[in-house]
Amino acid sequence: MTFTAGPFPDNENLGYKWEISAGTIIEGQGKPVIVVQTTREMNMTNLTATVELSGLPNGCKNSSSNDAAIAPVCVLPITLDEWGFLPVRDEMARIDVAGMELRNRPESHLLFMIGIGAKETQRSAQIRANRIKRQLVSKMGFAAERIHFVYSSGERHYTRIYLAPKDAVDSLTQSENY
């Protein structure tokens, strides 16, 4: 985000002191233009920047504030992998790769969409989910709270893995985590 004070006639004697309601001034303190960095964790819709000018003639207003809307950051889930029927060893190799992605993104979660096809039961899908979770939690050391499952019934059997932020996982999961 950028805030600008002015325009003022060229006057090298002016001083600029900026204050902001949130975020960090990453460039421009003491100058007519500042750049402010906000973070995803900022739970607000507006940011206020206030500039106080020094070096103006007596009687002139020497401060001003302005609000700017903070655009919400929306991070969508990323599809990491999808497969149909696979031998257990091949499936676990794919889970290991997903685990490496999860390790590289400590703020993310893994969401597994398990499609239960006509030739599979809910019980066998749950056994598969338990095997996946054991691999990630017991063998790779991830917190169980970062691993989520959703079941879907349909024509075909599949497993799809998404890497997603927690809020996206919360909105996508309507069923109990296993």
**pTM attached to this predicted model:** 0.56
Give the total residue count for the chain. Answer: 178
Residue 115 in domain: yes
Same domain, 85 and 65: no
pLDDT at 171: 65
One domain, residues 112 and 147: yes
For 50, the domain range is: 2-69
Angle between helices 122-134 and 88-104 (to 10 degrees): 50
177 is a domain residue = no
| CA distance linking residue 151 with residue 159, whole number of Å | 9
The answer on 147 and 109 residing in a single domain is yes
85 part of a folded domain: yes
> Where among 49, 69, 89 does a domain terminate?
69
DSSP element (H, E) containing 18: strand 15-20
Claim to verify: residue 64 and residue 89 sit in the same structural domain? no
DSSP state of 93: H
Q: Are 32 and 100 contained in the same domain? A: no
Residues 102 and 46 in one domain: no
pLDDT, tens digit, 9 for 90 and up, residues 110-126: 988 888 887 778 888 89
Are residue 26 and residue 82 in the same domain, yes or no?
Answer: no
- Residue with token string 């900022």: 42
Q: 150 is written with which tokens?
A: 């959703």
pLDDT of 160 > 80? The answer is yes
Banded pLDDT at 178 (limits 50, 70, 90): very low
98, 81 Cβ separation under 8 angstroms: yes
Maximum C-alpha span of the chain: 85
Q: What is the pLDDT of residue 146?
A: 93
Q: Residue 91's domain is classified under what CATH number?
A: 3.30.1330.60
Query: Do 97 and 23 share a structural domain?
Result: no
Model pLDDT, residue 72: 64
What is the pLDDT at residue 156? 84
Same domain for 85 and 159: yes
Total structural domains in the chain?
A: 2
pLDDT tens, position by position, 22-61 = 889 999 999 999 999 887 666 567 889 999 999 888 888 8
7 and 84 both lie in a single domain: no
